[in-house]
A and B are shown apart, each in its own frame.
Chain A
């Protein structure tokens, strides 16, 4: 009786395994992989996840299959006698080495894919590349092979994200900035300097790659390159207080021309506000009772 049933069970498990491997990728978008589609680093993380997941599925089916098989096949029955086995050195060395080999394979895959995830790529040629300017690789900061990117400062504060954009000069006080929504040009590699001014936050736009903590006193780095216009949503991923759930972030990718216009508009409005403030300071200096 044993042989036929054993065959049947083996076949069932094989079928289940094949079915999982075939059906899974189809239903994968939402259920089975991290978000991706905004930037190549997010796509590569998703691929790396998928590879690991498939190895995990094989291990899962192997272990759960053996467990279920053993529980059914070796349940206590009349006349059944338990084999008094204490161990089997060869078998034990075998599965120890087996586990190690699987891990070595996973490590090799990870190291092969790491540079594509961690290191920024070059901007797309043309208008997008024109918006990138040389950035220095300081500390752990990685820069594209051509050394040029659009470097934006991300500053976390309870419970807002503030972005400061480069304006080409050395004075950081008059740079264009925005809150909550970051506007970037498509095709340009964007590098981020992530900092915090109060508690620990974590910068995360799932479709644009992994999260990086904003730790006060430290600078953390991330990058992305968006190739199609669109809006990407995210939020703070490290508990930062009562408003943590509402500390949202958005990245809007627009064409390089629109980006230039938007920056010009921001700069103009900042300049206008500065001038208005200067004027009102002057008024107040002449007459302390004047309406500011």
Chain B
């Protein structure tokens, strides 16, 4: 370079010494460092785990369809809910958000790829390794201590099963995967944004992935340390969690939930991001209060690090601790409420097009509110003394994670499928899938609030036939199968459309963000030219410019004369 610099002759920017033959088929998928292919690997792999976790859930519901059922042994039942919880948290919701992030963060910020493509591939293969190690335990002795893995139950004395060790390695491997992925996201978003894309013009989904990455970096080392201590307790004679030798089971609970609660926001914040992208596109209206939504993401993440012991309100703890964690949990409701109000205001006075992504986003809103309200109820610690560890809590967190995060994931699938494959999903099947999932979800989980208040704890394989428990549980079981059917319809929809769906074109929804600027599916380099970004909605600006230059109106809502345009 130094030798060339005095020369005034143009110097070629890229020098190729040879042309590599394009790898084909399986080899290409195994060796790819393209963020889009890795994104697809992530999405497909995590969806497979979603189906596995779903089948486990259906088995659990079948067992509980009637009192004193003998379908499953208590041991199998405990293994199933352990697998279900672990799968959904570590192998589905967290990594599928990384899948969307992988595919769309570079596209939305106008970058060619992630900052560290090979690290990106590593993060996917670590995830898969974690999943395989964990599911390998199915062939010998799956873990049966619940996904929270409370000590001393998970100590060797009470659970010698190697399944617990498989669980520990899953946490290590998927944790490492998420950590390198998080560093990659952070570096990409901080350094590779399109010209003109300041922090105030970053798409809201990218904001949430940024915060997701930061939370992962803060929370994961804690659980990695905690499970390492558990591993040495189990096999190498240490006593970190053993009360008989000066250790403390509460230490585990604190360490676990110090990770476990931020993990909830790690799972749900990118879902918020998807909703913040989908609503304005289909309401044909700018997002209401961009700054408030971005800021509330950051505030939720910060407060999310300070609420962990609200999972431990029934543990032996001083009242002052309970009061602190109740108040910090209350505080989180404020930024969360702000988001909900902003989303409602985004729909207000829009022209809402009822496409499947919008319907899933609306379903998300209506269900997430329930999870938020019950969240406040269980944050009140004297009330939680009754509700903790019952089906009420099960209902609460499914409203947040299934009704919230997973419905957001489905909104994302229907929204971005045309970009990923170049083909549209079938709208009719999409709406059918939504209807089944929405009805199924609410039939399954609404009644579980009551089941819990009637005194049924979670994680029991049988229950006495008292009151209406059998009726309520049967309602819940029926709902779970409707929900399962709804998910199946989407799988069929994807399978049908991936090859034969109508061609989507680059921008089927008239989107707002840069991923719609390129072809569908995008070429390896993503963009030939990266446009200068002048607002949060660069595509709207581009369409307006085309309209100005050609005089041909691009189907687009014009500003209403009486509107309060500010930016």
Contacts and interface: CB of A to CB of B under 8 A. Distances in A.
Given A99-B337, A245-B462, A84 B565 contact: yes
A187 interface: no
Interface stretch (B218-226, B266-274, B339-347): B339-347
B354 interface: yes
A235 B370 CA distance: 28
Interface string B73-84: 011001000000
B351 interface: yes
Contacts of B362: 67, 71
B138 interface: no
A212 B564 contact: no
Most buried by B among A42, A86, A103, A209: A86
Contacts of A215: 243, 249-250, 315-316
B64 to A, nearest CB: 11
A56 B376 CA distance: 9
A83 B373 contact: no
B289 A74 contact: no
B137 interface: no
B327 A45 contact: no
A48 B385 CA distance: 12
A32 B450 contact: yes
Contacts of A204: 457
Given A31-B450, A239-B153, A242-B144, A211 B314 contact: yes
Contacts of B8: none
Interface stretch (B11-19, B203-211, B553-561): B553-561
A198 interface: yes
A45 B378 CA distance: 12
B351 A86 contact: no
A64 to B, nearest CB: 6
B319 A49 contact: no
Contacts of A209: 385-386
A70 B563 contact: no
Contacts of B345: 85, 88, 91
A83 B557 CA distance: 9
Contacts of B315: 213, 215, 218, 220
Nearest to A72: B352
Contact of B316 (A140, A210, A245): A140
Chain A interface residue bracket vs B: 35 or more
Main secondary structure on A side of the interface with B: mixed
Contacts of A86: 286, 288-290, 564-567
A60 B559 contact: no
Interface stretch (A106-114, A124-132, A168-176, A267-275): A106-114
B474 interface: no
A143 interface: no
Interface string B141-169: 00011100011110000100000000000
Nearest to A222: B385
Nearest to A201: B153
Contacts of B318: 140
B248 A217 contact: yes
B178 to A, nearest CB: 26
B338 A74 contact: no
B377 interface: yes
A217 B380 contact: no
Contact of B350 (A74, A103, A219, A246): A74
Interface stretch (B29-37, B227-235, B387-395): B387-395
Interface in B278-301: 283-286, 288-292
Contacts of B374: 56
Given A30-B468, A87-B290, A110-B380, A211 B316 contact: no
B158 A82 contact: no
B449 to A, nearest CB: 9
B152 A63 contact: no
Given A107-B330, A117-B382, A60 B370 contact: yes
Contacts of B290: 86-87
A237 B389 contact: yes
Nearest to A110: B380
Contact of B366 (A67, A77, A85, A241): A67
Contacts of B450: 30-32
B363 to A, nearest CB: 10
Nearest to B348: A70
Given A31-B450, A86-B288, A238 B158 contact: no
B453 interface: yes
A118 B354 CA distance: 51
A53 B338 CA distance: 20
A3 interface: no
B457 A220 contact: no
Given A92-B292, A216-B249, A241 B468 contact: no
A74 B351 contact: yes
A244 B81 CA distance: 14
A217 B243 contact: yes
Contacts of B464: 233
Given A30-B454, A211-B389, A237-B388, A85 B314 contact: no
Interface in B72-101: 74-75, 78
A285 interface: no
Contacts of A218: 243, 250, 315-316
A181 interface: no
B455 interface: yes
B28 interface: no
A240 interface: yes
Interface in A99-149: 99-100, 103, 106-107, 110, 113-114, 117-118, 140
28 contacts: A45-B385, A48-B382, A52-B380, A59-B373, A70-B350, A71-B362, A74-B347, A74-B348, A75-B354, A84-B285, A85-B349, A85-B563, A92-B289, A96-B334, A99-B333, A103-B376, A106-B376, A106-B380, A158-B158, A206-B454, A210-B382, A213-B316, A217-B244, A233-B466, A239-B153, A241-B153, A242-B75, A245-B461
Give the 9 A-B CB pairs with smallest separation, nearest first. A210-B385, A217-B243, A245-B460, A56-B373, A99-B337, A83-B349, A84-B559, A206-B455, A34-B386
Interface of A: 30-35, 42, 44-46, 48-49, 52-53, 56, 59-60, 63-64, 66-67, 70-71, 74-77, 80-88, 91-92, 95-96, 99-100, 103, 106-107, 110, 113-114, 117-118, 140, 158, 198-200, 202, 204, 206, 209-213, 215-220, 233-246
Given A87-B566, A220-B315, 6 more contacts: A76-B354, A84-B286, A114-B382, A202-B457, A218-B315, A244-B74
